[in-house]
Amino acid sequence: MGQVLNVRQQGAIAILEIDNPPVNALSHAVRAALVEALDSVDRDPAIDAAIITCAGRTFVAGSDIREFGKPRQPPLLSDVIDRLDAMSKPVVAALFGTTLGGGLELALGCHHRIAAPATRLGFPEVKLGLIPGAGGTQRLPRAVGPETALTMIVTGEPIMAEAAFAHGLVDELADGDLQEAVIALAQRVAKRGAPRRLRDDAAKLAANGDERARFDATAQALTKRARGLKAPHACVDAVRSALDLPFDEGLEHERAIFRELVAGDQSKAQRYIFFAERAAAKGPGLDAKPRPVERVAIIGAGTMGHGIAVAFADAGLAVTLIETDEDTLQRGLEAVAAIYAGAAKRGQLTPGEAENRRTRIRGVVGLREAADADLMVEAVFEDFDLKRDVLAELATLTRPDAVLATNTSYLDVDALASATDRPAAILGMHFFSPANVMRLVEIVRGAKSAPDVLATAIAIARRLGKVPAVVGNGHGFVGNRMLRQRSAAAEQVLLAGALPHEVDAAMEAFGFPMGPFAVADLAGLDIGWRMRKAQGLKAPIADALCEAGRFGQKSGKGYYSYASGSRTPERDAGVEAIVVEASRRAGITRRALSGDEIVERLLFPMINEGARILEERIAARASDIDVIWVNGYGWPVWRGGPIYYADAIGLASIRDKLVAMAEASDDESLMPAPLLVRLAEEGRTFHSL
């Protein structure tokens, strides 16, 4: 046990230092060692107070997520905190790094807290489909007041040390050396007699009628977008019990909710995604040392280019945004300014910070300006010849150690790279729109991309706060390749008898934030139309809409119509007539489709494509596909992603339905992929691969 907890003594102060890399999670061994050490602190007459601190890069960043869902092994974290409550001597927590989840609960169980200024404190449990389960929902409201506690627990977003100090969550900020400051604090409080426990402090809880109404309004606003997720509502329920129940009953209530959630399907799926996200950027050859990146050039100031520029500026990097002419550049810079003005208006950034970030982006005309950048992201229009020419020119202009990324959604990265004299420096970084908001980046590994070029792209994506997923080179990579199957299936479902709003309703009921036709209207229908024409493909309904000038929201009409200035889709009799006419021409007798049938017909072909992607090794792991769909395409996280979902349904049933679909529509492409057939026959899952 000595390995995970180092115990030292300085004068009359005991120092309990948790040492459990990488993030000092509260594994069983740590909890057991803490209880034992606290016992001996209490017993030892030579000790007046204790400190809990950590070795390494952070104070405890949470309970050990790997232990969730397994049989619980005492002492639990709540036992450690009960021990703290029973102490006769004060215990001070020294916080730094990311004090999260169980780490913050441990800190709240201590009698005093001091934090280094860069500390982030929060309860991210909601993102794992959980609530804090060791008193966090009862102690935080006592420390900071109910509304602040509610916001922190329901959003899962951490706050900085300064805000924590202002709210009373920490007693002191350590401006200088944290260790010295915490010893000094421990020495001071040791003289004050019996330790002060948060469980006894109800001063901030007294909520009169007005405050109660505000609490309820905040709860409602915070859960408005919870869409099928149980945990945000459970967080509200638990925090409310801090107001309604005596402390111990509140704890009981919290524990009951936690136990139910941790055993449930939603949290299981969300914990799976947590580890899947961390795995998606790992693999053979991906652990090379990243090249340093400080200066970034983005080529192209259109929707993707300026969004990517904002993502970099948000992460504190200096960005040169490059266009071919002054007018286009100005439009891009105006779009950047509008993004920051919006963020300031919504209160997400102070006006000063918004301005700081905006001015990190310098707009210039001419590729030559990219010459001194460490990383270039080419984000010009999705056209092979254009991208090839831009990359080839960049390769001649820039330093030999610079990394060149192409932001393409479909194109062949190897073919683009081979047109330059530096294919090893090139890879794909496929951002999703809006690029400053969406978390996913598909990192496309070219046949010749150097390992440290890949490592650089992964590191920079993480620095932007994004989720990088490494994929192989192949038309549409992973996400768009599967999306294409869904779009084709959606068109077929319309022909069979459904209407756009019925399809969208079924997919929203499944948990997608928007249905596929509302998304298509948002993205614009003309891009797909152009691509189909170039490839000699047809989609009778989508083509007919474009021929009628219905390009989606940008033209005020697409699958739906939009009142001027509105983004709310409205059913349109004209569209429904086009759909019915398309069925008639195809000789199809229209019939009603249930929501379940719509969902299966849209999702199963996509899962089938996922099987082909795994067979071809475009995705290295089944879980990478799930990470991509959850972070880039609105797949509900509590359903774990398409491959996780397929495994849960059972592959034999999906195989049989695909065969039936293929036969009914006489469409060979819907026949189950060999990998899917094999796994189904063997009674296995994708994740067993």
Question: Where does this chain bind ligand COA (CB under 6 A)?
Answer: 22-23, 25, 61-66, 98, 100-102, 124-125, 128, 275, 278
As a whole number of angstroms, the distance between CA 576 and CA 500 comes to 8
Query: Coil, helix or strand for 538?
Result: coil
Asked if residues 28 and 63 have their Cβ atoms less than 8 Å apart, the reply is no
Q: Are 77 and 26 in contact, with CB atoms under 8 Å apart?
A: yes
CB of 38 to ligand COA, least distance (A): 20
3-state secondary structure at position 363: strand
Q: How many CB atoms sit inside 10 A of residue 216's CB?
A: 13
d(CA 34, CA 45): 19
The full DSSP string for 225-240 is: T-TT-SHHHHHHHHHH
The least distance separating ligand COA from the CB of residue 411, rounded to whole angstroms, comes to 31
Whose Cβ is closer to ligand COA: residue 274's or residue 384's? 274
How far, in Å, CA of 162 to CA of 657, rounded?
56
Interstrand relation of 120-122 and 295-299 (parallel, antiparallel or unpaired)? unpaired
CB of 86 to ligand COA, least distance (A): 23
64 vs 314 by CB, closer to ligand COA: 64
Q: Are residues 56 and 21 in contact, defined by beta-carbon separation less than 8 angstroms?
A: yes
> Measured from the CB of residue 264, what is the shortest distance to ligand COA in angstroms?
16
- Quote the least distance from Cβ 511 to ligand COA, whole Å: 22
- Which of 109, 110, 138, 107 lies closest to 122 in space, CA to CA? 107
Q: Residues near 249 by Cβ (< 8 Å), separated by ≥ 6?
A: 241
How far apart are the C-alpha atoms of 136 and 149, rounded to whole Å?
A: 9
Angstrom distance (rounded) from CA 219 to CA 209? 15
Q: Which of 17, 125, 491, 600 is catalytic?
A: 125
Q: Output 61 or 222, the one with its CB closest to ligand COA.
A: 61
Alpha carbons 23 and 64: distance in angstroms, whole number:
9
Closer to ligand COA by CB, 135 or 300: give it: 135
Cβ-based nearer residue to ligand COA, 125 or 647: 125
Nearer to ligand COA, 22 or 587 (CB): 22
Task: Compute the least distance from the CB of residue 97 to ligand COA, in Å.
Answer: 8
CB of 458 to ligand COA, least distance (A): 11
* 17, 36, 105, 334: the active-site residue: 105
The partner residues of 442 in beta bridges, in order of sequence, read: 430, 469
Number of other residues whose CB lies within 10 A of the CB of residue 444: 29
In the complex, minimum distance from the CB of residue 27 to ligand COA, in angstroms, rounded to a whole number: 8
* Cβ-based neighbours of 539, under 8 Å, separated by 6 or more: 487, 488, 491, 528, 532
401 DSSP assignment: T
CB atoms within 10 A of CB 202: 14
Q: If we measure between CA atoms, which residue out of 69, 467, 66 comes closest to residue 267?
A: 69
Q: Answer for the pair 673, 616: CB distance below 8 angstroms, yes or no.
A: no
Contact, 428 vs 391, CB < 8 A? no
**Smallest separation (angstroms) from ligand COA to the CB of 419:** 36
Q: Closer to ligand COA at the Cβ: 131 or 542?
A: 131
CB 416 within 8 A of CB 388: yes
Residue 105 Cβ vs ligand COA, minimum distance, rounded to whole Å: 8
Question: For ligand COA, which is the closer residue by CB, 155 or 555?
Answer: 155
Per-residue tokens: 367 = 């590729």
Number of helices and strands in the chain (H, E): 28, 17
Nearest approach, Cβ of residue 102 and ligand COA (Å): 4
Q: Whole-number minimum distance, CB 479 to ligand COA, in Å? A: 22
Cα 184 from chain centroid (whole Å): 40
Q: How far apart are CA 616 and CA 675, in angstroms?
A: 10
Query: What DSSP string runs through 66-82?
Result: GGTTSPP-SSPHHHHHH
User: By C-beta, is 270 or 487 nearer to ligand COA?
Assistant: 270
Residue 125 annotated as catalytic: yes
Distance set, CA 296 to CA 334, 395, 432 (Å)? 20, 15, 19
Quick check: is 254 catalytic? no
- Comparing CB distances to ligand COA, the nearer of 461 and 494 is 461
Closest CB to ligand COA among 22 and 71?
A: 22
**Long-range contact pairs involving 193-197 (C-beta distance under 8 Å, separation at least 24):** 194/88, 195/87, 195/88, 195/89, 195/90, 195/91, 195/111, 196/90, 196/111, 196/112, 197/85, 197/111
Q: Which is nearer to ligand COA, 271 or 306 (CB)?
A: 271
- Helix or strand holding residue 394 (H, E): helix 384-397
Active site residues: 105, 125
